[in-house]
């Protein structure tokens, strides 16, 4: 890829209001004109381009090094934007949108023929979400186009939750980064397929299964999420993902983590441990990361990707991670950790 000068706009609360307005307008104009710009959402930073412009969509794939059989999520500012992209809006979608839009829920609809085939990777369906982050909303409104946006990381790396993470991966490859500070939720949106008979979770995320069940009654989980050897229905779920450079293993037993860490250090490796605040002083390793606190999975989700990237910054060779409760947002945390570990888990 040839080098692109990457702009960085500060739209943090500390910035001057008039500057924020000007910066967002400049970023929105670039998107409208076919360029690719990273911006914060309530989940992770997205890498946005005009979803109706196939060349802009191609450039998103190129900047990330993303395989082109993995479709993108289209981000919209309001429900009018939805009507322009889908053939029908099922009643269950209305209920879900009333309950959880704007927010970290992506819905899979039947796509109409205005949606470029590279957005959907040739599927007949399209993934759509309305983010709740004020900066994302403002940018979408100002750009006046639907915005296709995968997470703004290099393909395979942990998703970015700060503008610095985006900068590390994509500086020189994209037109700009809107810096709105750290994102809130920290893991990606839940992907829910409502194009079939029963709503099915293809990727656990910011809206929990429990929350979806409240609205839908019954919700299924894609069999691939339950280790039954099926191919995942969401193309992106088949790739190794979120992986730090060091080799990560999930370990249920805290005492065993220390044993493994001590052994690896004796072999000359730099060893990291992922735990919570409560046990950060319990381990003896080269780098111990406190990923939130026990009993508050939201704090763990918010810090998870920052933690995975911190092991890279510390040049850690081997990482042992505790496992987390799979209820609520814990399902998303464990899904991402299992992928980052490439399935390495000691029970
Ligand atoms: O929170 C999020 O969803 C973030 C922010 C930026 O909005 N975006 C994000 O996008 O995580 P990405 O591209 O990293 O993940 C999109 C996921 C992939 O697993 C992809 O395969 C799936 O959504 N997907 C997209 N379109 C689909 C479709 N038509 N059918 C099934 N899965 C689809
Ligand atoms: Mg991603």
**Alpha-carbon distance 112 to 122, whole Å?**
12
pLDDT at 344 exceeding the cut of 70: yes
Answer yes or no: is pLDDT of 22 > 80. Answer: yes
Which residues lie with the beta carbon below 6 Å from any ligand 1 atom?
41, 43-44, 46, 70-73, 104, 106, 108, 120, 123, 125-127, 149-151, 188-189, 191, 202-203, 234-237
- Judge whether 288 and 273 are in contact, CB under 8 Å: yes
Distance 41 CA to ligand 1 centre (A): 14
- The ligand minimizing its distance to the Cα of 74 is 1
| Cis peptide, bond prior to residue 102, ω within 30 of zero | yes
Mean pLDDT (whole number) for 139-164? 97
pLDDT higher than 60, residue 82: yes
Give the distance, in angstroms, between the CA of residue 316 and the centroid of all CA atoms in the same chain.
Answer: 23
Of the candidates 19, 135, 160, 161, the one whose C-alpha atom is nearest the C-alpha of residue 77 is 135
Q: Do residues 231 and 238 lie in contact, with contact meaning Cβ atoms separated by under 8 Å?
A: yes
Instruction: Supply the pLDDT for residue 228.
Output: 56
Partner residues linked to 10 by β-bridges: 179
pLDDT band at 235 (very low <50, low <70, confident <90, very high): confident
Judged against a pLDDT cut of 70, whether residue 208 lies above it is answered with: yes
Q: Residues 87-109, buried b or exposed e (16+ Cβ, 10 A)?
A: eebbebbeebbeebbbbbbbbbb
Q: Measured between alpha carbons, how far is residue 308 from residues 12, 33, 122, 279, 317 in Å?
A: 24, 35, 32, 18, 12
* In contact, 297 and 310? CB cutoff 8 Å: no
User: What pLDDT, on a 0 to 100 scale, did the predictor assign at position 162?
Assistant: 98
pLDDT tens string 180-197: 999 999 999 999 999 999
Interacting residues of 113 by C-beta distance below 8 A, sequence separation 6+: none
Counting from 1 in the atom list of ligand 1, the atom nearest the Cα of 127 is: 26
- Ligand 1: nearest atom to the Cα of 73: 25
Residue 22 CA to ligand 2 center (angstroms) comes to 29
Kindly indicate the confidence band of residue 243, based on its pLDDT and cuts at 50, 70 and 90: confident
Residue 55 tokens read as: 């060349």
Ligand 1 atom with the smallest distance to the CA of 111 is: 29
Q: What is the mean pLDDT of residues 222-234?
A: 75
**Which ligand ends up closest to the CA of 191?**
1
220 bridge partner residues: 200
Q: Which domains does the chain have, with CATH numbers?
A: 7-221 (3.90.870.10), 247-346 (3.40.50.11030)
Q: What is the structure's pLDDT at 231?
A: 75
- In the sheet that 287-290 helps form, which strands lie side by side, from edge to edge? 287-290, 271-275, 318-321, 247-251, 345-346
Q: What is the pLDDT of residue 113?
A: 97
* 129 token code pair: 């979400």
pLDDT at 194: 96
The Cα–Cα gap between 195 and 198 comes to 8
How far, in Å, from the CA of 46 to the mean position of ligand 2? 9
Ligand 1 atom with the smallest distance to the CA of 45 is 6
pLDDT at 161 over 90: yes
């Amino acid at each position: 890829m040839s080098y692109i000068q990457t702009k960085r706009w500060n739209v943090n609360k500390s910035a001057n209001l008039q500057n924020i307005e000007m910066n967002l307008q400049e970023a929105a104009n670039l998107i409208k004109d076919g360029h690719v710009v990273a911006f914060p959402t309530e989940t992770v930073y997205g890498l946005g381009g005009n979803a109706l412009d196939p060349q802009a969509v191609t450039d998103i794939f190129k900047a990330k090094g993303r395989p082109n059989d993995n479709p993108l999520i289209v981000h919209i500012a309001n429900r009018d934007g939805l009507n322009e992209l889908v053939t029908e809006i099922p009643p269950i979608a209305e209920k879900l949108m009333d309950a959880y839009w704007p927010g970290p829920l992506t819905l899979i609809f039947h796509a109409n023929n205005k949606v470029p085939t590279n957005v959907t990777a040739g599927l007949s369906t399209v993934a759509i979400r309305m983010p709740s982050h004020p900066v994302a909303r403002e940018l979408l409104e100002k750009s006046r186009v639907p915005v296709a946006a995968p997470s703004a990381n290099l393909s395979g790396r942990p998703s970015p939750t700060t503008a610095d993470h985006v900068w590390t991966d994509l500086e020189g490859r994209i037109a700009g980064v809107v810096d709105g500070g750290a994102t809130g939720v920290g893991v990606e949106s839940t992907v829910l397929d409502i194009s079939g008979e029963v709503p099915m979770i293809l990727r656990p995320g910011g809206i929990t299964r429990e929350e979806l069940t409240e609205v839908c009654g019954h919700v299924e989980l894609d069999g691939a999420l339950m280790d039954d050897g099926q191919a995942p229905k969401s193309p992106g779920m088949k790739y190794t993902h979120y992986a730090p450079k060091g080799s990560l293993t999930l370990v249920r037993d805290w005492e065993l983590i220390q044993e493994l860490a001590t052994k690896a250090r004796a072999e000359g490796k730099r060893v990291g441990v992922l735990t919570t605040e409560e046990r950060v002083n319990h381990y003896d390793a080269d780098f111990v990361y406190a990923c939130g606190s026990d009993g508050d999975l939201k704090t763990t989700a918010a810090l998870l990707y920052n933690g995975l990237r911190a092991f890279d910054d510390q040049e850690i060779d081997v990482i042992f991670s505790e496992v987390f409760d799979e209820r609520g947002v814990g399902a998303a945390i464990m899904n991402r950790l299992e992928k980052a570990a490439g399935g390495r888990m000691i029970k």
